[in-house]
Structure 1
């Protein structure tokens, strides 16, 4: 019985290309009390591997967070399987705005301590005591209210390329960083302001809305389904789109275009640009914004140093990487001092 992925990303990409079948990229989450996450994890892997599902799925005692792609022809069977699990029956599926058959190249189902890392150790905090969910139309009305404070619950590199008009965009690297910062900044408005939050697909707002209710905020709202569902409703109902730029996504696509606005700049030359890339030097792999001209001049690297390393024979690069640990640099996305025009 296979319980783990055995194919490399390269091998899987070749199989997808050879099959020539359309795949759907989607995401969903659900907070729930899961007694044995490992048992659920194994069950999901076995069932979804047979359906050729690929993606990144986290399971914890507090619920499930899934970002994945599934062959279009297997979608009905996939949905049937979801509905067979009591707490996932009729769960909202966020279908990607822009589709890409290569959005995910492996099936990874992992057991985590939490599906959204929050750094909280408060046993009195009830994640199910969430704020009021609002649809796109109500959201548009709320954020025009002078008594509303609109907060982006995503990280700095996400909001840099796209966010709602007049949103507070905390300069944070992780979700856990934003919780206390936002509470401190808005402490005097716990009773007189409407706190409206949004994120990519809703999962971070769900936890944040419950957290701020727990901290005494009286009027807490969240955008149902996040930016992904907002975009779908805006297009379907022909509503005014109040989102500027791109929505950052955590797969090979990196972003979905929501509007024609380019609100960010190349981190190397300062020209208008909203294309995230990873440094081609695998020992660095820094995520940053790079325009086509800089990509050509820098050989897809973030610095002259990385450019020199990337030009070396592969075996020499591999030898240089041996024993080095760059995780702090990699995950301080866009924070490197070599980027002259970073925000």
Structure 2
């Protein structure tokens, strides 16, 4: 069988919409030594493809990172596939909190240098020397201590729509930028409890190891991230300390954790936490847009982009060809977001 997709995106989305069964969105990761990532990738692709799994999986010498969608009737078979690999046997699976089953529409498994791009070049860094795990109950208890500092290890657009109470934002566009920034921001707090969290646990686990590597003493990280915390807190009847929406990197662009809307529409300033990509494919800017602005701007981020939607198809194609897609598609940087929206609101 072919070890990559050969069907058009349009056709795959039609097939997804026509499915009569439910899907479960699952994420998982594991830091582990994989000797031959390419061979592992190819075998895993073949086994998951036969189960109808969709999603995005990264494989590297340092482990695996996955966000996927599994037909409900194949969840047990999927778990059996994972557990058949010794380094994945018994691995925790994060089940989506707010799931419509339409998170992914194709299976992509890629081999990368690292499962999380971190910019760490120090050969003495040891990912296995990581902080202490905190479950939902332990997190709630420790964060009541005034000597505890909670650090959000996600990007600015994730923090904006939802975060834990009193969490510190490390304002950046990438995880590789955040690591040295976090060390610098907290350099005078090395004896305090440092609690790190992220979406599913993969970034805060590596961040906790990096903090220990840089001389911090009492470092913790939230087991399973926001997703596992929310599920366990609800199961155990614990107070939810996370407020707002949890940004996710699939077609949902977010899952509702609590009813609070803590962010604003980037166009009019009304309360909103709905992320969208600009409907102008030559732009595709990620931003927050309320329903009223979505209607007024036809899903675009500006009047300029709205006008593009009404151009003849040939002119739109020319615009798309003139764009460096690698930098523009799903671009979330503050540097690009602010000038565009500030210019629009002048």
TM-score (normalizing by structure 2): 0.96
Contact 2:280/2:305 (<8 A) preserved: yes
CA-to-partner distance for each residue in 1:64-89, whole Å, 9 max, x for gaps? 00000010001111111101011000
Q: Is the 8 A contact 1:195 1:219 kept in 2?
A: yes
- Alpha-carbon contact 1:288-1:333 (below 8 Å) kept: no
In the TM superposition, what is the alpha-carbon distance from 1:19 to its structure 2 partner? 3.0
**What is the DSSP-based 3-state SS (H/G/I as helix, E as strand, rest coil) of the residue aligned with 2:29?**
strand
The answer on 1:229 being equivalent to 2:231 is no
Q: How far is 1:263 from its partner? A: 0.5
SS of the residue 1:288 aligns to = strand
User: C-alpha displacement at 1:327, in angstroms?
Assistant: 4.1
Q: What displacement does 1:150 show?
A: 0.5
The answer for the alignment partner of 2:147 in structure 1 is: 147
Distance across 2 between alignment mates of 1:33 and 1:230: 27
Please state how far the C-alpha of 1:326 moved relative to its aligned partner.
5.0
CA distance in 2, matches of 1:317, 1:55: 29
1:304 to partner: Cα distance: 1.2
Q: Which residue of 1 is the match for residue 54 of structure 2? A: 54
Q: Does the CA-based 8 Å contact 2:99-2:255 persist in structure 1?
A: no
Q: Do the aligned residues in 2 keep the contact of 1:246 with 1:258 (CA within 8 Å)?
A: yes
Q: Structure 1, unaligned stretches of length 5 or more?
A: none
- Partner of residue 177, structure 2: 177
Moved over 3 A (4+): 326-330
| Residue pairs, 1:95-244, within 5 angstroms | 95-190=95-190, 192-244=191-243
Contact 1:309/1:317 (8 A) holds in 2: yes
Alpha-carbon deviation of 1:234?
A: 1.1
1:301 Cα shift? 0.6
- Secondary structure in 1 aligned to 2:339? coil
Asked if 2 retains the 8 angstrom alpha-carbon contact of 1:60 and 1:111, the reply is yes
- Distance across 2 between alignment mates of 1:40 and 1:201: 23
CA-to-aligned-CA distance 1:139-175 (integer Å, 9 cap, x gap) = 0111111111100000000000000010001111001
- For 1:325, the equivalent position in structure 2 comes to 324
- Contact 2:157–2:332 (Cα < 8 Å) also in 1: no
Q: Secondary structure at the match of 1:337?
A: helix
Q: Distance in 1 between matches of 2:285 and 2:19?
A: 32
CA apart distance, 1:201: 0.2
* Comparing 12-21 and 302-311, the one that deviates more: 12-21
Q: Can you list the C-alpha shifts for 1:84-133, whole angstroms capped at 9, x where unaligned? A: 01100010000001112221011000000000000111110011111100
CA distance in structure 1 between the aligned counterparts of 2:245 and 2:101, rounded to whole angstroms? 20
Distance 1:164 1:309 in 2: 39
- Following superposition, the deviation at residue 289 of structure 1 comes to 0.3
Question: CA 1:287 to 1:238, structure 2 compared with 1: closer, same or farther past 3 Å?
Answer: same
Paired with 2:203 and 2:112, the residues of 1 have a C-alpha distance of: 16
Aligned to 1:245: 244
Measure the CA separation in 1 of the matches of 2:154 and 2:19.
36
SS state at 2:101 partner: coil
Question: In the TM superposition, what whole-angstrom CA distance separates every residue of 1:24-71 from its partner, at most 9, and x where no partner exists?
Answer: 101000000111100010011000010010000000000000000010
Separation of aligned partners in 1, 2:86 and 2:103: 28
Aligned pairs, number: 341
Give the match for residue 35 of structure 2. Answer: 35
1:271-304 C-alpha deviation (Å, 9 max, x unpaired): 1100000000000000000011111111111111
321-330 vs 33-42, which moves further: 321-330
CA distance in structure 2 between the aligned counterparts of 1:131 and 1:170, rounded to whole angstroms:
19
Separation (CA, whole Å) in 2 of partners of 1:196 and 1:231 = 16
Q: Runs of 5+ in structure 2 lacking a partner?
A: none
